[in-house]
Amino acid sequence: LPQLLVLPIDLKSEVIIHTSSAMSELRFDNQTVVVTGAGGGLGKAYALFFASRGANVVVNDLGGSHHGEGKSSKAADVVVEEIRAAGGKAVANYSSVEDGPAIIDTAIKNFGRIDVLINNAGILRDISFKNMKDEDWDLINRVHTYGAYKCAQAAWPHFRKQKYGRVINTASAAGLFGNFGQANYSAAKLGQVGFTETLAKEGAKYNIIANVIAPIAASRMTATIMPPDVLENLKPDWVVPVVARLVHSSNTTETGGIYELGGGAVAKLRWQRAKGALLKTDDSLTPGAIARKWADVNDFSVCEYPTGPADFMGLLEQGLKMQSAPK
């Protein structure tokens, strides 16, 4: 097996992702892939890859600055030209992701279908929380949260009707863990996780698979915050194979997954719930009683890995039994 950080992905998947001969079998012929923010960085790498594997690609990009100012058709056009010059099929779309229906319409009008949606477009408005303005908060949430929602919502009826759809949403380590100067971005990016989990649950019945990635890659977003030698090993190309595997038709089981990846490393994340404490719901439930149980609340030596709201019910059921137990 290749050298990489492998965590709880099953061995078979890992081989599919990383063995070059297996990768060469991943084709997307007759499928339409919509990539938002495909004029540069990660989005461009996805677009070039999917087109090289036979897909029709909608190259969406608003073409503004990484702060979300301005717009231009050039970013998308350059990528479309590159794809066509290499013999691939692509069309440009210059809408903001806030106008998701226009982007999905481009896929339907030009290629008659949509199979894969990669919600990738993004901007930054980094600023300390103390100095954050409504505009910084709103713009980030409009592009990342509302934009991903509008694109997925426009694709959804097509996915349901054809009983096939693949979605990748893009989170960030900043969302998973928080990061200085990124309160707006962190909130929007963790939002992608909850959004994906729900799409995975609602989509399951219709063969709609949704996963979320927290990538790291050299792009204009990271160009000024990481040294060149580190960026050298973080080509967007090293994120693409995992995304390709997750959105391929051969993936019928991996859904609702959260993956951190970049620079050849890939790892799945999950929630972990500590042992916890159960207290009687009467006058004895005081701050002091909680304090006496605090070690249990924080005890990860005995833990669970919840995957849905229903998982908490087990704890509540125990609680109910305890409440009704004779004194």
- Residues at the site binding ligand NAD, with contacts judged by CB under 6 A: 36-37, 39-43, 60-64, 66, 68, 75, 96-97, 120-123, 143, 147, 170, 172, 215-217, 219-222
Residue 99 Cβ vs ligand NAD, minimum distance, rounded to whole Å: 8
- In terms of CB distance, is 28 or 238 closer to ligand NAD? 238
Residue 135 Cβ vs ligand NAD, minimum distance, rounded to whole Å: 15
**126 Cβ neighbours under 8 A, 6+ residues apart:** 181, 182, 185
Residue 141 Cβ vs ligand NAD, minimum distance, rounded to whole Å: 12
CB-CB contact of 176 with 190 (8 Å): yes
CB-CB contact of 46 with 38 (8 Å): yes
Q: What is the full DSSP assignment across 189-235?
A: HHHHHHHHHHHHHHHGGGTEEEEEEEE---STTTTTTS-HHHHHT--
182, 184, 186, 188: CA torsion to nearest 10: -150
- In terms of CB distance, is 16 or 240 closer to ligand NAD? 240
Residue 116 Cβ vs ligand NAD, minimum distance, rounded to whole Å: 16
Residue 26 Cβ vs ligand NAD, minimum distance, rounded to whole Å: 21
Catalytically active residues, by annotation: 185
Q: Tell which residue, 150, 91, 99, 143, has the closest CA to residue 121.
A: 143
- Which residues in 185-201 are b (16+ Cβ under 10 Å) and which e? bbbbbbbbbebbbebbe
The count of residues in the chain is 327
C-alpha span between 322 and 272 (Å, rounded): 24
- In terms of CB distance, is 146 or 206 closer to ligand NAD? 146
- In terms of CB distance, is 39 or 165 closer to ligand NAD? 39
- In terms of CB distance, is 172 or 184 closer to ligand NAD? 172
The SS3 of residue 167 is strand
